[in-house]
């Protein structure tokens, strides 16, 4: 991946969204890449991490290094079409719970958390996939 990112990692026309099945690679490898290369975004937790605790771990593992705006928000596939609304609801609830924790710890102001909740639910995914 190094030659690809060295050549195109700063090109605004290029977008690389990274997903993983190995949860430990978020903080060790993927978040630093997303924090450095403007073209790299982190895909949401999915498969084995598509759960309340998996999503919480995702936020804790990626935000410190990559930041929220270097993630792709939440997206879904159609492998389990009927579960899509429930999965998005879980994402929104976990996101808001995580943001509320940041407010309680004094790391975010309440109005910042409110704005970020929208970004995590809709805005980041629309920008990541260039949907208007």
Greatest Cα pair distance, the chain, in angstroms, is: 42
Domain boundaries, the chain: 2-128
Nearest 5°: phi and psi at 45?
A: -65, 135
DSSP code of residue 80: T
- pTM to 2 decimal places: 0.89
Separation of alpha carbons 44 and 18, rounded Å? 9
Res. 78: pLDDT tops 70 = no
Average pLDDT (59-75) is 93
- For domain 2-128, the question of CATH label 3.20.20.140 is answered with yes
- pLDDT, one tens digit per residue, over 85-101 is 888 899 999 999 999 99
- The percentage of residues in the chain with a pLDDT greater than 90, rounded to a whole number, is 77
Query: Which long-range contacts link 94-103 to residues 24+ away (Cβ below 8 Å)?
Result: 94/52, 94/55, 94/56, 94/59, 95/55, 95/59, 95/120, 95/121, 97/56, 98/55, 98/56, 98/59
């Amino acid at each position: 991946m190094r030659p690809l990112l060295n050549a195109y990692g700063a090109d605004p026309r290029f977008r690389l969204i990274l997903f993983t099945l190995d949860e430990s690679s978020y903080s060790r490898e993927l978040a630093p890449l997303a924090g450095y290369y403007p073209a790299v975004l982190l895909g949401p937790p999915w498969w084995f991490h598509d759960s309340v605790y998996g999503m919480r771990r995702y936020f804790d593992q990626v935000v410190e290094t990559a930041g929220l705006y270097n993630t792709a928000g939440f997206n879904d596939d159609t492998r389990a079409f009927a579960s899509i609304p429930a999965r998005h609801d879980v994402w929104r609830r976990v996101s808001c719970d995580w943001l509320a924790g940041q407010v309680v710890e004094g790391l975010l102001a309440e109005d910042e958390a409110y704005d970020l909740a929208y970004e995590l639910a809709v805005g980041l995914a629309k920008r990541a996939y260039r949907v208007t």
